[in-house]
A and B are shown apart, each in its own frame.
Chain A
């Protein structure tokens, strides 16, 4: 009996902790502070990982036996494309949360994710073109993978532009959330495009189940770069959120205290 009461108490305690966490998540000063604390240690690690991964991929791996040295672009092309897709989930889920529960901080996250996702998608397309020229003999091919990635870029840019187009920021947030949710239909098409349609673009070499079709000497730097790009996205997302929070809350007491700690309360 007493153990059951103990369990119930523990459950209640966990619930309280979770509730406090969600409650804090909705608090701009708390989010601003915690985001800053995360960026302070994650950003140096990110830059270090990016530099090590890039040097490893550029200078210390052997060339691909068929593609030669052009394959070294893989160390930025694949990570940027993978994280551009993951970033879309972040943006769309944040959009859904702000749409359903009217959570302001989710709207901040959605708006912060869009430009970072656009930058990563552009990197994937640009490096893909540079890789395509020496390997396929063409900069661009209107195949399913490349076209759907171009649509992803337009979706990201669309969210950025749509937000700016509205004077009423609440309406802007709703419109952007709906756009990003409708755009979700593009995501499985990007994933499956290389399997559904035969094209110049090769299917994925890394698989979660079974043997990867890539040598481990090439796999490790690639995994490092994928991790580094995820960290990069997280840092940029949090830094954009911090700037956005300051802008939205510039008239509040906590921002004023941030600027002038001994000022009037």
Chain B
């Protein structure tokens, strides 16, 4: 560890705010690009499941129980 204390690591001799903000914003963006595709995929799978369920119930009422 280069820094002696948490305080020193946070302030980084005056550069702390720049460095930590850069890392924090990067963390936010990376989290977003990692999470969004999975959420979109899950939403699409749910939509397909709903569509399938709707179709099946439709068949059931039209043709009676099979």
Q: Do A and B bind each other?
A: yes
Select which of B18, B33, B40, B48 is within 8 A of A259 by beta carbon: B48
Closest to B18 in A: A130
* Chain A residues within 8 Å of B30, by CB: 50, 119, 123, 232
Decide if A240 is an interface residue (CB 8 Å cutoff).
yes
Given contacts A68-B15, A239-B37, A242-B37, whether A259 and B29 have CB atoms under 8 Å apart is no
Please tell me the size bucket of the interface on B: 20 to 34
Decide if A260 is an interface residue (CB 8 Å cutoff).
yes
CB–CB A256/B32 < 8 A: no
CB–CB A69/B19 < 8 A: yes
Chain B 33-60 interface 0/1 with A at a Cβ cutoff of 8 Å (1 = within): 1100110110011011101100000000
Closest to B1 in A: A59
Given contacts A119-B29, A134-B15, whether A73 and B34 have CB atoms under 8 Å apart is no
CB–CB B34/A80 < 8 A: no
User: B-side binding surface: helix, strand, loop or mixed?
Assistant: helix
What is the bound-complex CA distance between A123 and B27, given in angstroms? 10
Q: Min CB distance, A89 to chain B, in Å?
A: 19
CB–CB B12/A250 < 8 A: no
Decide if A133 is an interface residue (CB 8 Å cutoff).
yes
What is the bound-complex CA distance between A42 and B21, given in angstroms? 27
What is the bound-complex CA distance between A63 and B48, given in angstroms? 53
* Chain B residues within 8 Å of A69, by CB: 12-13, 15-16, 19
Decide if A186 is an interface residue (CB 8 Å cutoff).
no
What is the bound-complex CA distance between A122 and B33, given in angstroms? 12
What is the bound-complex CA distance between A131 and B13, given in angstroms? 14
Decide if A76 is an interface residue (CB 8 Å cutoff).
yes
Residues 245 to 261 of chain A near chain B (Cβ within 8 Å): 246-247, 250, 255-256, 258-260
**B residues lining the A interface (CB < 8 Å):** 1-3, 9, 12-16, 18-19, 21-23, 25-26, 29-30, 32-34, 37-38, 40-41, 44-45, 47-49, 51-52
Besides the known contacts A61-B2, A63-B2, 12 further A-B residue pairs in the complex with CB atoms under 8 A apart: A50-B30, A58-B9, A59-B1, A59-B3, A70-B19, A73-B23, A76-B26, A126-B22, A235-B34, A236-B37, A246-B45, A259-B52
User: Can you list 12 A-B pairs with a CB-CB distance of less than 8 A?
Assistant: A60-B1, A68-B12, A68-B15, A116-B33, A119-B30, A122-B29, A127-B26, A232-B34, A246-B48, A255-B48, A259-B45, A259-B49
